[in-house]
Amino acid sequence: MNLTRRMFGAALGAVMAASVALPAAAQNAASVIETIQKEGVIRIGLSLFVPWSMRDKNGELIGYELDVGRQLAKDMGVEAEFVPTSWDGIIPALIGGNFDVIISGMSVTAQRNLTVNFTDPYAYSGLAILTNKKMTEGMSLEDLNSPDVTFTGRRGATPAVVIAKQFPKANLLQFDEDGAAVQEVLNGNAHATMASQPTPNREASRNPDILSVPFENLYDPRGEAFAIRKGDSDALNYFNNWIAQQWRSGWLKERHNYWFATEEWADQVAQ
């Protein structure tokens, strides 16, 4: 009996020691925040799509993401380094250490959350359908769900996923850039595409004789958030506090309105 009790006590002690040691080890793991402060630069992964991030006429990066990233770096007392990356490879690149954080209009989804952690949203948007007027004249939403209809979308992005779900019978052509997806509709090679507002409204206003936003439906309304590697509670805490502070001050709303509700910046980019 005494031997059994001693064995049980030893086992219990080992379990308790392990339960104490594991959190301590986790706490000792370096956060990306420490790396950023040590190196004096925050590396931000992004994919180019208007007006989140784009190049101006001089080839310089501008857009909502760039404002957010530069202000974040300024508040951290470091430099901002932006790393343009194809959308379908941006999460693997983050996990592989190519950059510290994704700030690229990434919607929070359960599937993505399996491989990355998301902050609180720093932007909110919904998806609208942009159509070729002539090709879709008189068509209803139900009519778009047909093998005779072709949609376009950016490969790996949320609109492509939503199109496949909402219009499973339609054809879906996928491209690496949003601009190519819109161009196919503009050229009459596809009936419709889907993108976050205000992009559809802006494209329709620029090409009123060809393009239209005929439906009020907004699909997949959700927040866009920073994405970071899993297991970094310090980074998640810092970024969430920073985002909350920018919402309270009104800075995020002001910057979002500038890039999404106006075209005051339009003359900076090639049309």
Rounded CA gap, 173 and 153, in Å?
6
Helix (H) or strand (E) holding 125: strand 117-132
Rounded CA gap, 201 and 212, in Å?
8
Rounded CA gap, 240 and 72, in Å?
12
Tens of pLDDT along the chain (271 residues) come to: 444 444 334 444 444 444 444 444 444 578 999 999 999 999 999 999 888 999 999 999 999 999 999 999 999 999 999 999 999 999 999 999 999 999 999 989 899 999 999 999 999 888 999 999 999 999 999 999 999 999 999 998 889 999 999 999 999 999 988 889 999 999 999 999 999 887 898 899 889 999 999 998 889 888 899 999 999 999 999 999 999 999 999 999 999 989 987 888 989 987 6
Closest CA to 154 of 119, 193, 99, 100: 193
At 271 the pLDDT is 67
Helix (H) or strand (E) holding 128: strand 117-132
Q: Which two tokens stand for residue 228?
A: 């970071």
- DSSP output for 201-238: HHHHHHSTTTEE------EEEEEEEEEE-TT-HHHHHH
Q: Name the DSSP letter for residue 105.
A: -
Query: Rounded to two decimals, what is the model's pTM?
Result: 0.69
Are β-strands 79-84 and 117-132 bridged in parallel, bridged antiparallel, or unpaired? unpaired
H/E/C letters for each residue in 25-74?
HHHHCCCHHHHHHHHCEEEEEECCECCCEEECCCCCEECHHHHHHHHHHH
- Residue in the block written with tokens 């954080």: 101
Helix (H) or strand (E) holding 165: helix 158-166
At 112 the pLDDT is 95
At 28 the pLDDT is 52
Domains of the chain with bracketed CATH: 32-125+222-265 (3.40.190.10), 126-220 (3.40.190.10)
At 126 the pLDDT is 86
Rounded CA gap, 36 and 242, in Å?
15
Burial class from Cβ neighbours inside 10 Å (0-12, 13-18, 19+) for residue 59 reads exposed
